[in-house]
Amino acid sequence: MIEFRGVTKQFPDGTVAVEGVDIVIPPHKTTVLVGSSGSGKTTLLRMINRMVDPTAGQVLIDGTDVATVEPVALRRGIGYVMQNSGLLPHRKVVDNVATVPLLRGTSKREARAHALELLDTVGLDRSLAEKYPAQLSGGQQQRVGVARGLAVDPNILLMDEPFGAVDPIVRAELQQELLRLQEELGKTVVFVTHDIDEAFLLGDQVVIMQQGGRISQAASPVEILANPADDFVADFVGARRGKRALHVTEVDGQRLVVDADGRPAGVLAS
């Protein structure tokens, strides 16, 4: 379990990126941080592995304040996947995946063998193992990034817009893959996106952030749609005007579900 208690981050230039955040991130579930650009999602995420230190408040992992844990050791136990995969361009795919286990002292042979298994896990062909990152497609690079994040079998996996830079089809594929993986592995996933659809698809808990790094609502997708905390949330999730403002109309005896513009979303099953 990850817990934020009264966490604020003000950068040296005066920008307040996160303000007074209290939130509990349950274990073995996916929590998605969603909000527009600059709302402090990345900052909040990076406080978990101490890539950013809060200026006030505490971040606790299983009750331990991360401020008391040495950052390098902390980071080696937490998976981190970023938007542009962040792979080391001068290392082969398999060596990229094996990087952290090697840092932790696993033997080279064992680390490489495990890396190959992880390529299977994320749905990559082993023939890619000896290639360099720049020889892969964007989607393949992202999968390698996920494999690397899983390499030390961390309890916590941090993902910062991991699918932000791939085309919609690959993106949908990667999302399904992540759902499948999460079913299998049950990690505590903290996932950042600015795409509310992605948030509703992946999140057990969805945290909606607004400018100034405040949390508007943290709840399950169902709850957010049923009871948006305020106008901002209702607008953001499109519950009023967008494609989620659905209603039923009857056409030739069939009950159709249509969105706010009258476009059909489907048929109401009985």
Partner 1 sequence: MNLVLDAIAWILDPTNWEGVGGIPQRLWEHLWISAVILLIAAAIALPVGVLVGHTGRGREAAVTVSGALRALPTLGVLSLFALWLGIGLRAPIPALVILAIPPLLAGAYAGIESIDRRIVDAARAMGMNERQIVGKVEVPLGLPIIVGGIRSATLQIIATATLAAYVADFGLGRFIFSGLKTRDYAEMLGGSILVIVLALVVDGAFALTQRLVVPAGVRATRFTELRSRPARPRAAVG
Ligand X SMILES: Nc1ncnc2c1ncn2[C@@H]1O[C@H](COP(=O)(O)OP(=O)(O)OP(=O)(O)O)[C@@H](O)[C@H]1O
- Which 171-200 residues touch ligand X, going by CB under 6 A? 194
Q: 20, 9 in Cβ contact below 8 A?
A: no
Tell me: does residue 37 bind ligand X (CB under 6 A).
yes
| Residue with Cβ nearer Mg ion (42 or 216) | 42
Tell me: does residue 249 bind ligand X (CB under 6 A).
no
Side by side, which strands form the sheet with 214-219? 78-81, 156-160, 188-193, 30-35, 205-210, 214-219
| Residue with Cβ nearer partner 1 (31 or 141) | 141
Tell me: does residue 15 bind ligand X (CB under 6 A).
yes
| Residue with Cβ nearer Mg ion (42 or 188) | 42
Tell me: does residue 53 bind ligand X (CB under 6 A).
no
What is the distance between the alpha carbons of residues 228 and 153, in angstroms, rounded to a whole number? 36
Structure tokens at 170: 């690959």
Binding mask 122-141 for partner 1 (x = CB under 8 A): ----------xxxx------
Tell me: does residue 164 bind ligand X (CB under 6 A).
no
> Residue 85 Cβ, how far from Mg ion at the closest point, in Å?
15
Binding mask 37-76 for partner 1 (x = CB under 8 A): -----xx--x--x-x--------------------xxxxx
> Residue 154 Cβ, how far from Mg ion at the closest point, in Å?
21
> Residue 182 Cβ, how far from ligand X at the closest point, in Å?
22
What is the distance between the alpha carbons of residues 16 and 186, in angstroms, rounded to a whole number? 33
Tell me: does residue 36 bind partner 1 (CB under 8 A).
no
Q: 210, 19 in Cβ contact below 8 A?
A: no
Q: Where are the beta strands (DSSP E) in 63-145?
A: 64-65, 78-81
- Which 148-167 residues touch partner 1, going by CB under 8 A? 148, 160-161
> Which residue(s) pair with 191 in the sheet?
32, 159
What is the distance between the alpha carbons of residues 73 and 245, in angstroms, rounded to a whole number? 47
Tell me: does residue 86 bind partner 1 (CB under 8 A).
yes
Calculate the alpha carbon distances from 253 to 10, 248, 257, 259, 267 in Å.
59, 12, 13, 19, 11
